[in-house]
Each structure stands twice: as C-alpha cells, then as structure tokens.
Copies of this chain bind each other. A is one copy, B any other.
C-alpha cells in the first residue's frame, strides 16, 4: 500500500497538492485491476468514480450510434480520468477501456465531493487537471483540423521524444491499431502514412521508430499541408 500512495501523490492531478490534503482522499480509494480489453466505464453512465492510472494503459473513446469509435484520449501512469465525478449529477462523456493490463486507483464520487467541499486546495487541483485535459483536446482538434495524417504522426512521434535533438529512437507505446484511432485514421492509413515519413528520415521497425533528425521532422509536422505538391516536386527531382 505504500507504493500506491506514492504513485497517486505524484499523479498529474495531485502533483502540486500538499501531501496532507490528498492522503485522506487516497486512502479512501480502492485499487482496481483491469485486464486488456476490460471496460472501465461507459459513455453516458453516471460519473460514479474518479480514476487514476497507477499502471498500464487506458483509452478514452467516444462511440457514435452507428458503432464507430473515436479515441479521444490515451492515458498512462499518473494520468487521471473521470473528472466528471467531481460534480454531482454528471455523466461520463466518454467510455474508458483498458488497452493493456492496468492498475487503477478508483475514488468514489461521494468521497470526492466530501473532500472537495472540505478542502479548496483539492478543488483547485481538479480545476487544473480539467484545464489540462482541455488543452490536450484543443491540441488534438487543431491537429485534426489542419494537418494531414502524416503530419499528425510526426507530431505524435515528436511527443514521444520530447527534448531530444538530432537522431533518436522511440518506442511506440501501444499497438498501431490504437495509434491509428488516437490520431484519427484507419490502421491502413497509418501504415501508409509511416511510409510517407521515410523521405523525412523516419523508419519504422516493429514497434520502434528511428528518427534521423528531430528538427527535420518538426519542420515537416508544422508545414502547410497545401503546398505538398511543390515540396514533392522539389523532393523527387
């Protein structure tokens, strides 16, 4: 139980909250194990709990009525989801599913309300976490609306090798079906888009991406999609 509290304290949401304020809340939570493929909560369901990922991977997704799934988040150690539980009467706006064997800290909504009521510091922590979610969503929206599939992959790879320069090798953290969903495309398109990154010095081997130059990739990720023709002409000559 010791490593559990440490993990939860260093999580995204509680990172900047004094130890004392969170201990009580965390101690009321329970650890839930979820195997790959297990559903954690459903879209539209009453937001009964807050979750913190202690270990593993969780995807947040939106199901359209025709059965089409859109991944809106992929979370790992220290990430937090189900913030809707902080507000009485809310429902989950996404579904959540473990995409790898995972350990979660589950905190009951009522305990949460009580904690928030009695401790303003916690409330602000939630506000911060939700704003952070917001930023992530806005970023994703921006990517989706004004970048090609290949550029979104570039952005994704770059997010995996933050602060690196020059050459670097990154490990793809989950399978390509999920990466495709997360980036808003089909697996086939992902596969092809990886190919299109080769001219920019990116090679994929199994679950590893070899990036020749982070700078070059960055330039590609930011460039205007509408001038692909001129780029291409310039490049194939």
Residues of A within 8 A of B (CB): 62, 64-72, 83-84, 86-87, 90, 93-94, 116-117, 120, 123-124, 126-128, 130-131, 133-135, 137-142, 144-147, 184, 222-225
Contacts and interface: CB of A to CB of B under 8 A. Distances in A.
Contacts of A120: 116-117, 120, 123
Contacts of A137: 134, 137-138, 141
A142 B223 contact: no
Contact of A67 (B87, B126, B131, B224): B224
Which of A66, A87, A94, A223 has the most chain B CB atoms inside 10 A of its CB?
A66
B69 A146 contact: yes
A131 B91 CA distance: 11
Given A68-B224, A117-B120, A142-B64, A87 B134 contact: no
Contacts of A144: 70, 141, 144-145, 184
A59 to B, nearest CB: 13
A126 B87 CA distance: 11
B134 A93 contact: yes
Nearest to A116: B124
